[in-house]
Each structure stands twice: as C-alpha cells, then as structure tokens.
C-alpha cells in the first residue's frame, strides 16, 4: 500500500473513531426519531447528548476536504521533481493575509465564548470583525494574484505558477463556502430578540471551520515558500 493510501486510511479511521466516541454509531442516536415522538431524550456514549447532525456533516466534509488538499500537496511535491519546475516568488502580502486569517479565526472563537456567556454586543462585534478580516483575506489573495500576473508569472508559463493559482484558488473556494454559513449565522445573531445561546452552536461550527482552513493555509503557505522541501523529498521517494 502506498503512503497516500495509508494516509487516507488513517484519516478515515480517525474520523470514524471520533464519530463513534461522540455516540453517532450508537443505537440511541439512530432511535432519535422515536424519542422525539415521546419516548424520552436520547443520549450518546457515557450519558452525553448525541452529536448534532450539523457537527457530523461538518466532520465528514472536513475529512473529504482534507483528502483533497492532501492530494494537491502530494501532486505539488511530485511535480516539483521535474527539470522545468520554477517556483514563483511569493508576494509579500501573503504574510499579511496569513496574519489576517489568524485574526479571523481568533475573532470567531472569541465570538463563540461571548455567545456562551450571553454577551450579545460583544458576540456581534466579534462576528463582524471575523467577517471583515475574511473579506480582507480575499482582497489580499486577489492582490497577490494580480502582483504575480503583472510580473509575468502566468498560469500557462510554468507548472509551478499553475500550482500557486490552483492551491490558493481551491482554498479560497472552501473559504467562500464558509462565508455563506457565516452570513446565515450573522443574520441569526442580528435578528430582533435573538438569544446569544441559540447562536452559539452555529458560531462554534464556523469557528471550527475557520480553524481548519487556517491550518490548511499554513501548510499551503509553507509548501509554496519552500519550508517543506525536505518533507517533499521524502514524499517523492515514498510515492515513486
């Protein structure tokens, strides 16, 4: 079995074990519909409430997304062994974009804590900060694309150029999907008479998704900056 196959097996096994620990595989979770009909409240493993469907869906989606990014990074390393491989210089604004994405992730996590504590004004301000920081990240990524294009680093000129646009573009698409969920969460938080505790679950999912995309971005940034060259050599040896 190849190293990629082993990685996917470990990733799938970790996901299944985590879902099982949350009671998703238990019969009480499967009988939730009967309990709702008047047979009591179901509980998961250890007497805890079963994992909400939204968290299960997010866990499965992040597993698939993790596989996609893993394949892209593996392809980057494999293609980087070619003689025509010339990595473009990374625009300096990417450092600013990284800091902005860190700020967005922290703001959403803080907004979750504010929602749990019932602080509506702070929760709304932090959600707004997270949204603004995310918008700035998008603007910074477009700026980086424009800077490379104006410097003559076109997609068709070199495979390394194409990988830069591909990796950042796929990451941006995933983040754009999160913006849709964040927009719905903010609409709920700004609704008249809304209680912060009712928005906490949605904010928690958004924060976790932003943490995941921040982690992915750090890996992509390190890969494109050459900070993982030694790891790439190991991968090429294992995959060849």
Q: What is the pLDDT of residue 172?
A: 94
Whether the pLDDT of residue 55 is over 60: the answer is: yes
Tell me, yes or no, whether 57 lies in a domain. Answer: no
Distance CA 130, CA 105 (A): 7
Q: What is the pLDDT of residue 3?
A: 46
Tell me, yes or no, whether 41 lies in a domain. Answer: no
Whether the pLDDT of residue 32 is over 60: the answer is: no
What value does the mean pLDDT take over residues 88-95? 92
Tell me, yes or no, whether 58 lies in a domain. Answer: no
Distance CA 123, CA 2 (A): 46
Q: What is the pLDDT of residue 99?
A: 97
How many domains does the chain fold into? 1
Tell me, yes or no, whether 157 lies in a domain. Answer: yes
Dihedral angle of Cα 194, 198, 202, 204, to the nearest 10 degrees: 120
Tell me, yes or no, whether 22 lies in a domain. Answer: no
Q: What is the pLDDT of residue 180?
A: 93
Whether the pLDDT of residue 76 is over 80: the answer is: yes
Tell me, yes or no, whether 156 lies in a domain. Answer: yes
> What residues make up the domain containing 222?
89-239
Tell me, yes or no, whether 34 lies in a domain. Answer: no
In this predicted structure, which of 8-22, 58-72, 173-187 has the lowest mean pLDDT?
8-22
Cβ-proximal residues to 61 (8 Å cutoff; 6+ apart), any chain: none
CATH of the domain at 175: 1.20.120.80
Number of alpha helices (DSSP H) and beta strands (DSSP E) in the chain: 9, 0
Q: Which segment, 42-46, 76-80, 97-101, 190-194, is predicted with the most confidence on average? A: 97-101
Q: What is the DSSP letter of 46?
A: G
Cβ-proximal residues to 2 (8 Å cutoff; 6+ apart), any chain: 238, 239
For 153, counting Cβ atoms within 10 Å of its Cβ (0-12 exposed, 13-18 middle, 19+ buried), the class is buried
Tell me, yes or no, whether 182 lies in a domain. Answer: yes
Q: What is the pLDDT of residue 19?
A: 54
């Amino acid at each position: 079995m190849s190293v990629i196959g082993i990685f996917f097996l470990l990733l799938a096994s970790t996901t299944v074990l985590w879902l099982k620990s949350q009671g998703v595989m238990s019969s009480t979770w499967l009988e939730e519909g009967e309990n709702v009909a008047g047979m009591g409240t179901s509980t998961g493993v250890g007497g805890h409430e079963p994992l909400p469907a939204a968290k299960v869906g997010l866990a499965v989606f992040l597993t698939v997304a993790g596989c996609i990014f893993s394949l892209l990074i593996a392809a980057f390393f494999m293609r980087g062994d070619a003689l025509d491989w010339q990595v473009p210089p990374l625009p300096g604004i990417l450092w600013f974009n990284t800091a902005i994405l860190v700020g967005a992730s922290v703001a959403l996590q803080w907004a979750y804590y504010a929602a749990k504590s019932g602080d509506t004004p702070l929760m709304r301000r932090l959600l707004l900060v997270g949204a603004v920081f995310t918008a700035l990240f998008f603007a910074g990524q477009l700026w980086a694309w424009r800077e490379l294009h104006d410097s003559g680093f076109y997609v068709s000129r070199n495979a390394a150029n194409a990988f830069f646009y591909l990796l950042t573009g796929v990451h941006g698409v995933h983040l754009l999907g999160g913006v849709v969920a964040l927009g719905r969460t903010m609409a709920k938080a700004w609704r008249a008479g809304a209680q912060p505790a009712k928005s906490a679950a949605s904010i928690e999912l958004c924060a976790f998704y932003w943490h995941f995309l921040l982690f992915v971005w750090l890996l992509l940034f390190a890969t494109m900056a050459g900070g993982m060259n030694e790891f790439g050599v190991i991968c090429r040896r294992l995959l060849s």
